[in-house]
């Protein structure tokens, strides 16, 4: 079977997945932002930083948080994580934040990203931050009912790296859900129970 036709599956990650998730995270960052960020974001220190992020995520059962990873051909190829707002907005524009969703480039378009988003957020109102220069991710979010709300921020360390906020309001959720045109169900199915308890501790120096 060609990789392009391989099925994917989702599961809840466990403590043993820290290393593979950190590696997929850094690889996805390189694939996505290599032309926008310096090399230090993709090297050994970045990998160590991501190990720390994933240790925290997988060791705390944060309240209302959901984390899922995608596998294809026996390999971890992506992940998504959502929970109670951790960004310093006061007040946050929605009760849930999508902290991260990453799928390795070779697997874009296979449906796993949609399945992961459905697994961690469903059609609930939520918000997220997306790089200003990331047209594919923005199209994916627009398709899922998120809209730009005009709020932007620059990265502390790389001021030219801008992020834009996107929000899905209750109205958007109901409209997209009702018409069934924006929420595309993917072929894969999430398996396992999602953790639900203790707050996501994702504040750090780097964007997710």
State the residues that interact with ligand COA by CB under 6 A: 28, 32, 101-103, 108-109, 113-114, 130, 134-137, 139-140, 143
Question: Residue 101 CB, nearest distance to ligand COA (Å)?
Answer: 5
Closest CB to ligand COA among 143 and 153? Answer: 143
Question: Residue 143 CB, nearest distance to ligand COA (Å)?
Answer: 4
Closest CB to ligand COA among 15 and 124? Answer: 124
Question: Residue 76 CB, nearest distance to ligand COA (Å)?
Answer: 13
Question: Residue 105 CB, nearest distance to ligand COA (Å)?
Answer: 7
Residue nearest to ligand COA (CB): 113
Neighbours of 179 (CB within 10 A): 9
């Amino acid at each position: 079977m060609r990789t392009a036709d391989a099925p994917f599956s989702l599961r809840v990650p466990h403590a043993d997945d820290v290393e593979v998730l950190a590696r997929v995270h850094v690889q996805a960052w390189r694939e996505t932002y290599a032309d926008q960020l310096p090399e230090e974001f993709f090297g050994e220190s970045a990998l160590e930083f991501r190990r720390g992020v994933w240790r925290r995520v997988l060791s705390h059962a944060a309240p209302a948080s959901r984390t899922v990873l995608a596998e294809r051909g026996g390999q971890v190829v992506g992940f998504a994580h959502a929970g109670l707002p951790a960004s310093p907005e006061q007040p946050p524009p929605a009760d849930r934040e999508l902290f991260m969703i990453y799928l390795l480039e070779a697997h874009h378009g296979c449906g796993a990203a949609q399945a992961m988003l459905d697994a961690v957020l469903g059609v609930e109102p939520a918000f997220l931050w997306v790089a200003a220069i990331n047209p594919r991710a923005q199209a994916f979010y627009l398709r899922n009912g998120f809209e730009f709300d005009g709020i932007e921020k620059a990265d502390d360390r790389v001021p030219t790296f801008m992020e834009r906020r996107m929000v899905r309001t209750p109205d958007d959720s109901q409209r997209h859900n009702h018409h069934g045109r924006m929420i595309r169900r993917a072929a894969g199915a999430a398996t396992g129970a999602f953790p639900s308890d203790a707050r996501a501790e994702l504040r750090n120096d780097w964007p997710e």
